Structure 1
Amino acid sequence: MMDDVFSDKSMQKGKDRSSLLINGATTKVEDLLNELGTSEQGLTEDVVKEHLAKYGSNTYPEKKKNPFMIVWAQFKNLFNILLIMAAALSFISGIMSNAQSSINMGIVILLIVFLSILFNLIQEQRAERAVRSIQQLVPMNAKVMRSGQEKLTPIQDIVPGDIIILEEGDRVPADARVINSFDLSVDNSALTGESDPQPRRSIEESEDEELFQYSNLVFAGTTVVSGTGTVVVILTGEYTQFGSIIGLTRSTKAPPSPLQKDINHAARLNFIVAMLVGLVFLFAAYFILHLDLAASLLFMIGVMVSLVPEGFQIIMTLSLALSSVAMSKRNVVVKRLASVETLGSVTTICTDKTGTITEGQMTARWMWISGDRLKITGEGYEPGGMVFLDEKKLMASDREDLQLMAYASALDNTATLVPPLGHGKSRWTAVGDPTEAALLVMSTKCGVNYKDELKKKKRIGMIPFESSRKMMTSVHEEDEGRYVAYVKGASAELLARSINIYWNGKIIPLTPDIKEQITTQADSFAREAFRVLAIAVRNFSEVPTHFESEKIENQLTFVGLIALYDPPRAETKDAVAKAQHAGIRIIMLTGDHELTAGSIARKVGIISTDDSQVISGHALENMSDENLSLLLDNKELVFARVAPAQKLRIVNLLKSKGETVAVTGDGVNDSPALLGADIGIAMGLTGTDVAKESADMILMDDNFASIVNGVEEGRTVFDNLRKFVVYVFTHNWGELMAFVAFVLLGTPLPLAIIQVLAIDLLMEIPPSLALTTEPPEPGIMLRPPRPKDSRLFNISALSRSMYIGIIVGAYVLFWCFNIWSGGGWSLGSNTVPDHDIYLQGTTAV
């Protein structure tokens, strides 16, 4: 089977790559080992060499770019071409008139072009840096069985059929099938975006699961968070799921921003106008004024220089830089300056759920004990909060069943809470399982200090969580020679092992009626998208001799239920409403379950009608582009359990429909979509280096509300840039009037070329920057996003700048002529008798 699949590399893409892994997950271990030509003793060195030659090394191929072609591509920017032409004209003018100042100005313009190209080259390397960051997630060595001996082997030498030993803290070096495990859990967030530990075991799976839901598969780039295991490698290098993300990242080019497109459009328009007007004036100078060819060319140069906004790129860059500083004060760090304006033109935001819409921290919200539903206040890992029954505040000391819930949550736990430490860390965090961290916080809200309790009640044994049991137990020595096993796990599993229940301060038999009541309440919590855990205890009069499930986890006394979830951020709902009022559609793309994703989306207002849809990645996989495109017309959508390629597919289809798309992400799995979107937004607190490298912006507080604030800033930038563009081209038309007067009226030239360049590169910058820093217009977030065909510089702006420029130019010419007339000049004369008076007139212009 392996030979057939790897012989055609095209088969390793898409579904064929996944089908090979699914085959490995659904095949008996013995049969899979035979197919891979290996055994639990591992491969021999001779077979390893054969496999390396046949399947290739466990590396990711690098695509080298030609540096010359990268630089040459920058000259496709018409404004750079215009600036180079302006520099050439400056050199020609300086040489022909023996003016060193013109030559110096040409050098300055070329320096501007160089800096512009250098800036763009830096941006070109974002995708390559993202790939390098991804590759750093893969370990350098791994523990491999070869010929019955454990060896530390370089990861590039791992081949299909190798037997790898995994331990807590290891990074998985290849896609593999689990063949032996004990309490093995992995963090798949690098691939799925969801950080909940995923148990892994060696059972044979059925074929009705999504790829990342197979509990007997581990994937390259993920991390072992607990336990140990032995796995057999199925896919390596570019053929792994990790390799597919690298392939997507390499093949995904960051699209030009709307602002870049507008600048190119303005440059084309300016190029055409400058060339046409320059040629017209060349014709007039040579054939009407009968100047010699050299003088006519010099005159044409002056006309073209007057129409080229040499300071445009400088002012644009400075304006966007100032806007990026303003955005940083609103927790948005800008990596690509042009993306400042892009965010303002966004029509669709594709957002992750965990950590962006939600707090990114599990929280215990409800507790059920003795038939009472208790509310738990507070959010995240912050210990502030209380427990209420109706309006009455309760502490652990008030009720024995509540005390047992708090003790079990604190003691049957391996997590640790970490307070704010400063240096940018502004909130409580946790080390360990997020659910266990939430239980520690809950116990603290009940008045139980988990560190003190661990000292008082010494742990003497533990039975780790296993997916087959769906529970975890910690045994502690209590006062007076008592020993208590605290058990937490799935409600159905604990109910099946319980014989009694704490009920209103007494231990009573667990009757069928009470069991039904507990099951009904657990189902009710689940329908509200809560994660439900049950708590039970068992007392021992003597120290247990064996800490095994069969000896400890039975004849339990049921205590209660805890409902946990990752709560929406407090400000998210208002931010969503603000974005929707601004005409922006919000689509949730998450790796979480459909029920949880839909519930959170409804709570924050992303979906609110009966027409809303929650689509799974499995359904998406079987949907054609045509059907998906029709689905994307729906205003309220949530996509759950989506893979990296599916996120990118959604983004590309939205863009093909004319949408300007922003994408948020924090994991390696998000990098292709971040690069492919019009604007990629990475999370600053929880985002991986890969996501940050791939993004255009970084949210320093991981808060969706900050994105909406950025939209407002971006819209303000566009409005102000449009004012600036009209202003810049207005004085270009005004400068042109000086050359019109020279041709039509036969006057001395009212404006020298060096003066034109000085105005464009020096004098216009302060007022232009003042225009670009104006505050937002009232109601800016109540209007819809600007249409894609709405240009920064269009015919309307061109005509407006033209008539204003002509009026201003006519006025300053009148002023200039008035000064000259005081020195003996009269209309029709092509010289001013007094040269000082001539210079005063040109200075006035």
Structure 2
Amino acid sequence: MSYKKDVHETLQKLHTNANTGLTKEEAENRLKQYGTNSFQEFKPPSMLRRIWEQINSMLIYILIGAAIISFIVGEVSDAVIILLVIVINAVVGVIQESKAEKALEELNKISTPKAVVKRSGIIQEIPSEQIVPGDIVMIDAGRYIPADLRLIETINLKIEESSLTGESIAVEKDAAWITDNDIPLGEQKNMAFMSTLSTYGRGAGVVIHTGMDTEIGKIAKMLGTQEKAMTPLQKKLAQLGKILGIGAIMISIVIFLIGFFQGREPIDMFLIAVSLAVAAIPEGLPAIVTIVLALGVQRMIKRNAIVRKLPAVETLGAVSVICSDKTGTLTQNKMTVTNIYANNKRIPVNQLTINDQTEQRLMENIILCNDAIATEEERTGDPTEIALVEAAQKVGYDQKQINNTYPRIFEIPFDSERKMMTTVHQKGDHYLVFTKGALEPVLDRTAYVEENATKIPFTNEQREKLMAEANNMSNEALRVLAIAYKEIEADSPLDETVEQDFIFLGLTGMIDPPREEVKASITQCDRAGIKTVMITGDHQRTALAIAKELGIAEHEDETMTGTELNTISDAILQEKVAHVRVFARVSPEHKVRIVKAFKANDKVVSMTGDGVNDAPSLKQADVGVAMGITGTDVAKGASDIILTDDNFATITAAVEEGRNIYKNLKKAILFLLSCNLGEIFALFLGILMGWPAPLTAIHILWVNLITDTLPAISLGIDPDDPDIMEEKPRDQHEKILSKETGLFTIFNGLIIGLLTLFAFIEGLTIHSNVRSIFELDFSNLSEEAIIFAQTMAFSALSISQLFHSFNLRHEKKSIFTTGIFSNPYLIGAILVGIAIQVMIVTIPIFNQWFHVVALDIGNWLFILCLAVVPIIVNEIIKAFKRTVA
């Protein structure tokens, strides 16, 4: 806690001297002891590790097992097809994940390449990596701080710390300041931190921490050590894979035992059991999920959101809390004068017109008593002073012209004791004296008040009135500056005495204003059941004022400060986050605690931010969202999604997109599961009744990988539901196969399975020239009859599944309401699927590969009639649901 120690004590502890610094020898020894002033490299995962992450799931294990078994029993084509699916899925995933974390790499780029230090009494410039604890560092305006420093000298020094603390206003530093209290980084006035920027004045400091021991280094550690959590969809697919795997093994064992006791050949039963296991697993599911997410990524790009990690698309749709940084995310990260108080009235700057000498003089003052430059080509200087110049420019004043008209001839710079700045300018044969600063010091030096170009003696009553107005502005989180002037003779002494008997002109109120589009987005989030929480390093009052304007919070009891956070445990914080909407004066560690607290309450959390200080919480959140324009490379590297327009409204659009993508993914998954269940029912019931297997393994694989894949992908890009943002966020524990969806899947699987068996029996009766199933002799069926029947079953299964895809468009709305042709991709997938099935059955070379025979037009018409049955049944059920609702 160096900020609690005085300068002498700090220098003694570090064994250094403020006047001479370290010797060359001592610096070299400390460099060996402490290491370079740089960040440790956390190695990204290797390519083998990335591949392992893609195949490390129960679903993939089962597929690999099925491929091995298929190869052993001679079903090489089956094995090849299964392995091909695994490879495609892994390749797509690795390509997406290979855009690995660059956060630590970018953190290294933040440290300045050079630093000015005092060694052996000589001021010299050295690479910042060579700085060691005990070095005396010289600071001037425009220079980045190269390490964590305890300041030992400050002259009007201001440091902009928004990249670390989130506070947009440059902080005044004071080497003599000291405290015994535990306070957050943003209030440690005698400290300067690595990666922050000196914007005004000069100073010197002794290095207390370098590299990974700095505050920014602690962030690097957090980025390097946090574990990557599974998204809700990944967890659900893992659970589903286990269920399907266990189910497939159990069903295979049962069917093998049934066949064995029926007296069938063990090797035949083993092949049938393998076929059944293959039927139980939707081999195309991992690839389809990846493809649908990848297509979702392309849609997100069109809405100004770049997705770095595929699963984040789905997770974003489940978000129930958006934790947003204030500065640069909810606000413009640009100090702006919003109000001017002059002539006894407050006027918004955007409504200001210069009508008299008082207002004119005030505008001249804020340009002339100012060291900033604000032109189209250049913006340099203190953010507060830039804001003042820009306010004058808005009402038609030209900075260069005013400066040329009234050249500066003397100045008394701002300092933290006087809390004001005064400049003297030539005007003909006399001088104009302009001042700006904190209200009370200026009023203490005021003799008159100017109203409507009339000079009035300054009274206690007027003082109270001005103080009350300033308090009103402060309560709105405006930073208030007092403006005054006077005229003096040309022969007057130019010294401290010029700061007397001022004529008070008015007040300026400035703030980092909220983005115009944010309020509407937050309102939309509220309607969608998403809680918006502001997390900032800024002052509590400032944060609350912005929160009120945006509709995030209304009362102070909805806020919490970093100091309060330090006094409570994680368990208590977990209780309090349910009611707190604004966290102010927080550190990077606090942000991570807050995100963890929300997650502990079963919330799916999105964290938005742009600064270095946001990076750990971006990584900790379920979905980290970084700003693409103003965001640091560190924040982008730690995020899952980057907004290319830095617009909070884009987050709402991304959530909407995420919800639709998840809904469509669920359609695709339920479609595949119901289709595969149909295959299981067909095989299981056929074997149970002692019939020949109605389908072969190659039939099942072809349907699963080709016929089902195109409709599943088409369902994955189904048109958006216009009412999606009126729904509450889904429960992250919601199972893909809930009671309702489970019944839907089983019911439709049973229909498809029974239709397949019906087609199989029809094929047997046609080829055997009998009138019904009861006349069939199952113990004496020819191989030709079985192949013909399997062709009928294969075609009925394939086409009925294609038609079944219509039933997934909406759980309640009729296909005529959603529009039969509103998804042209689905229509195309069905037509292509039917065409491929006809080709396989009709073209001789495919007959040999798939063990099928040609069908006549009567057979195809029969199959088409069977295929529309699932649509008819589901339309009746949907109509009943609508009636009941």
Shared fold (TM-score, shorter chain, > 0.5): yes
Out of 819-828 and 321-330, give the one that drifted further: 819-828
Would you say how many aligned residue pairs link Structure 1 and Structure 2?
786
The residue that corresponds to 1:450 in the other structure is 399
Change (3 A) 1:603 1:103: same
Inter-partner Cα distance in structure 2 for 1:703 and 1:117: 29
Match of 1:604 in 2: 550
Please name the residue that 2:530 is paired with.
Answer: 584
Match of 2:192 among 195, 218, 224: 218
CA shift for structure 1 position 105: 1.5
Q: CA deviation at 1:747?
A: 4.5
Confirm or deny: 8 A CA contact 2:168 2:334 kept in the other structure: no
User: What is the rounded CA distance, in whole Å, between the counterparts of 2:117 and 2:214 in structure 1?
Assistant: 18
Q: Deviations over 1:671-696 (max 9, x none)?
A: 11111111111122221111111111
Distance 2:70 2:373 in 1: 68
Contact 1:36/1:160 (CA < 8 Å) preserved in 2? yes
SS in structure 2 opposite 1:354?
helix
Contact 1:193 1:666 in 2 (8 A): no
CA distance in 2, matches of 1:648, 1:172: 25
Aligned to 1:349: 322
**Partner residue in 2 for 1:797:** 741
- The equivalent of 1:811 in structure 2 is 755
Q: Which amino acid aligns with 1:448?
A: Y
Matched ranges for 1:455-474 at <5 A? 455-460=404-409, 462-474=411-423
| CA gap 1:518/1:221 in 2 versus in 1, 3 angstroms | same
- Asked whether the 8 Å contact 1:130–1:691 carries over to 2, the reply is yes
In structure 2, the partner of 1:729 is 673
Cα offset for 1:729? 0.6
- Local SS of the residue matching 2:724: coil
Q: Which amino acid aligns with 2:356?
A: R
Residues of 2 paired with 1:214 and 1:705: CA distance? 35
> SS where residue 227 of structure 2 aligns?
coil
1:5 aligned residue? none
Q: CA RMSD in A?
A: 2.8
Is it true that 1:702 corresponds to 2:646 in the alignment?
Answer: yes
Describe the SS at the equivalent of 1:564.
strand
Q: What is the letter of the counterpart of residue 410 of structure 1? A: I
Cα-to-partner distance string for 1:141-180 (whole Å, 9 max, x where unaligned): 3222111112333333322211112233322121112222
SS at match of 2:110: coil
2:457 corresponds to which letter in structure 1?
P
Residue pair 1:193, 1:591 contacting (<8 A) in 2 also = yes
Aligned residues of 1:746 and 1:830 also touching (Cα < 8 A)? no
Of the structure 1 ranges 568-577 and 170-179, higher mean CA displacement relative to structure 2 is found in 568-577
Q: For residues 535 and 36 of structure 1, what CA distance do their matches in structure 2 show?
A: 45
Counterpart Cα distance in 1 of 2:673 and 2:345: 73
One of 225, 236, 252 as aligned partner of 2:210: 236
The answer on whether the counterparts of 1:254 and 1:677 sit within 8 Å (CA) in structure 2 is no
Shift of 1:469: 3.0
Task: Give runs of aligned pairs for residues 222-621 of structure 1, distance below 5 A.
Answer: 222-293=196-267, 295-377=268-350, 386-387=351-352, 394=353, 396=354, 398-417=355-374, 431-460=380-409, 462-478=411-427, 480-542=428-490, 550=496, 552-608=498-554, 612-621=557-566
Q: CA deviation at 1:645?
A: 0.5
Which region of structure 1 is more displaced relative to structure 2, 51-60 or 274-283? 51-60
Change (3 A) 1:588 1:109: same
Mapped partners of 1:111, 1:76: distance in 2: 13
Q: Which amino acid is the alignment partner of residue 787 of structure 1? A: D
Deviation of 1:468 after TM superposition, in Å, equals: 3.1
Q: Note closer, same or farther for the CA distance 1:430–1:291 as it changes in structure 2 (3 Å cut).
A: farther
Q: Aligned pair in 2 of structure 1 residues 77, 835: CA closer, same or farther (>3 Å)?
A: closer
The range that moved more, 158-167 or 743-752, is 743-752
Corresponding letter in the other structure for 2:710: P
Tell me which residue corresponds to 1:147: 120
Contact 1:629/1:653 (CA < 8 Å) preserved in 2? yes
Separation in 2, partners of 1:331, 1:69: 31
Residue by residue, what CA displacement relative to the aligned partner does 1:95-135 show, whole Å, maximum 9, x if unpaired? Answer: x14x5x43541441231243255257537x42xx2122122
What are the equivalent positions in structure 2 for 1:761-780 lying under 5 Å apart? 761-777=705-721, 779-780=723-724
User: Displacement, 1:543?
Assistant: 8.5
Distance 1:370 1:776, change over 3 A: same
- Quote the residue 2:584 is aligned against: 640
**CA contact under 8 A between 1:655 and 1:661: conserved in structure 2?**
yes
Distance (whole Å) between structure 1 residues aligned to residue 430 and residue 704 of structure 2: 87
Distance (whole Å) between structure 2 residues aligned to residue 737 and residue 819 of structure 1: 18
Distance (whole Å) between structure 2 residues aligned to residue 790 and residue 83 of structure 1: 26
Residue in 1 aligned with 2:63?
83
1:112 matched residue in structure 2? 88
CA distance in 2, matches of 1:773, 1:544: 79
- The reply to whether residue 626 of structure 1 matches residue 571 of structure 2 is yes
Conservation of the 8 A alpha-carbon contact between 2:762 and 2:789: no
Preserved contact between residue 615 and residue 640 of structure 1 (Cα < 8 Å): yes
| SS in structure 2 at match of 1:517 | helix
Contact 2:660 2:721 in 1 (8 A): yes
* Alignment gaps of 5+ in structure 2: 771-775, 798-885
Sequence identity, in percent?
A: 33
Structure-1 separation of matches of 2:713 and 2:746: 21
**Paired residue secondary structure (2:275):** helix
For structure 1, which runs of at least 5 residues remain unmatched after alignment?
A: 1-18, 378-385, 388-393, 422-428
Counterpart for residue 10 of structure 1: none
User: 1:568 aligns to what SS in structure 2?
Assistant: coil
- The structural deviation recorded for 1:320 is 1.7
Correspondence for 1:132: 105
Bigger CA radius of gyration:
2
The Cα shift of 1:351 comes to 1.4
CA distance in 1, matches of 2:739, 2:467: 69
Letter in 2 for 1:368: Y
Other-structure match for 1:61: 40
Alpha-carbon distance, 1:508 to partner = 3.3
Distance, in Å, in 2 between the alignment partners of 1:595 and 1:696 is: 31
1-structure distance, mates of 2:412, 2:395: 25
AA matched with 2:570: D
Aligned-partner Cα distance in 2 for 1:504–1:658: 61
Partners of 1:91 and 1:481 lie apart in 2 by: 103
Q: Cα gap change, 1:823/1:533 in structure 2, threshold over 3 Å: closer, same or farther?
A: same
Contact 2:677 2:750 in 1 (8 A): yes
Shift of 1:669: 0.9
Structure 1 residues 819 and 139, CA, compared in 2 at 3 Å: closer, same or farther? Answer: same
In structure 2, what residue type is equivalent to 1:87? Answer: A
Distance 1:794 1:430, change over 3 A: farther
Mapped to 2, the partners of 1:543 and 1:120 lie a distance apart of: 74
Give the drift of 1:606: 1.5
- Relative to structure 1, the CA distance from residue 369 to residue 760 in structure 2 (aligned partners, 3 Å threshold; closer, same or farther) is same
Range with greater deviation from structure 2 (733-742 or 797-806):
733-742
Is 1:23–2:4 an aligned residue pair?
Answer: yes
Asked if structure 1 preserves the Cα contact closer than 8 Å seen for 2:68 and 2:79, the reply is no
Distance change (3 Å), C-alpha of 1:544 and 1:767:
farther
Contact 1:825–1:831 under 8 Å retained in 2: no
The equivalent of 2:16 in structure 1 is: 38
Contact 1:266 1:794 in 2 (8 A): no
Contact 1:84 1:113 in 2 (8 A): no
TM-score, normalising length: structure 1 = 0.87
Offset of residue 488 of structure 1: 2.0
Structure 2 vs 1, CA of residues 756 and 836 (structure 1 numbering), >3 Å: closer, same or farther?
closer
